[in-house]
Amino acid sequence: MPPLISHRRVIDHRRVINRRRAAATALTCALLIPLAACGDGSGSAEDTGGGSGSGAATGAPAADLTVLAASSLTDVFKAAGAAYEKENPGTEVTFSFAGSQELAAQVKQGAPADALVTADTRTMAGLSDDTGEPAVIARNRLVIATGKGNPQKVGSLEDLADPKLKVVLAAPEVPVGRYGEQILRAWKIDVKPVSQEPNVRAVLSKVSLGEADAGLVYRTDAATATGKVDAVEIPDEQNAIASYPAATLKTSQHREAAAAFVAWLSTPAAQKILRGAGFQQP
């Protein structure tokens, strides 16, 4: 008869096996848990970055920004805004374009916005209590816009004094109007404008529609209507330089995101867009 195996020994043997299995399982879990935690943390950080639009290029927080900007920035800022949104997924930039004096009035009235870009430092300086520290992001110069082909043969500032010429200027409270008045007065050129417009785009529109023979606009604005107007250059010694400062607004609900956008305007990527539109270096 084969020897009997003690029932107690079988039970003890099974207990040993079970204990070893339990220990192996515990060890496996101990090794896997940190890895899982790391994986969750990594995935969570990536999801948060993508979902919040923190922006791979600038690290700017996601936000819906409203930027008040001078009329002469209309075309270039549309391109710049699209580039900024591409660099910062989750961020949307909405622009409100108007004459700088109109923008200043909006700021004073508490218009909900996050940043401001004017076409002159004077207007920005008058809003020092409402803005952060401004930084000049671009410069510009004036040209004489004429009808396509320059039918009246305007060749210089002096020609604008011809009483038979219909000249349109921006109002003196508008930066481009003030610059124009400055250079005309400096060279003692007496111009009687047929109208004074609220912003540079209105001046350009009058000329391109044939409602005026000539007008003083920024070089960059004339470049946006090359098929409709000609641009007569003004010599540097007779010209004025327009500076464009940008600043955050203290009433912004997205101060950090607004500051990131304003700072981005001075980066090589933004400056390349501005240079491509004809704006000069700050």
* CA distances for 114 relative to 63, 143, 208, 245, angstroms: 10, 32, 33, 15
Is the domain of 195 the same as that of 106? no
The DSSP element (H or E) to which 14 belongs, if any, is helix 7-52
Note whether 272 and 158 are same-domain residues: no
Specify the number of domains making up the chain.
Answer: 2
- Residue 103 sits in the same domain as residue 129: yes
pLDDT at residue 60, as a whole number: 81
Tokens representing residue 282 in the block: 């700050």
Is the same domain home to 235 and 197? yes
**119: in domain:** yes
Q: Is residue 25, in this structure, part of any structural domain at all? A: no
pLDDT of residue 55: 39
62 with 55: CB under 8 angstroms? yes
Q: How many CA atoms lie within 13 A of 20 on its CB side?
A: 6
Is 81's pLDDT higher than 50?
yes
Q: For the chain, give the longest Cα–Cα distance.
A: 137
Q: How many CA atoms lie within 13 A of 213 on its CB side?
A: 19
Residue 201, pLDDT score: 97
State the pLDDT at residue 58.
55
Comparing 247 with 42, the larger pLDDT belongs to: 247
CATH of the domain at 145: 3.40.190.10
Average pLDDT over residues 212-235: 97
Co-location of 212 and 169 in the same domain: yes
**Are residues 230 and 269 part of one domain?**
no
Residues of the domain holding 176 = 140-241
Q: What are phi and psi of 57, to 5 degrees?
A: -80, -40
For residues 152 and 268, membership in a common domain is answered with no
Segment 165-178, tens digit of pLDDT: 999 999 999 999 99
Q: What is the pLDDT of residue 252?
A: 97
Residue predicted with more confidence, 31 or 158: 158
Residue 2 domain-assigned (yes or no): no
Residue 111 domain-assigned?
yes
Give the range among 40-54, 209-223, 230-244 with minimum mean pLDDT.
Answer: 40-54
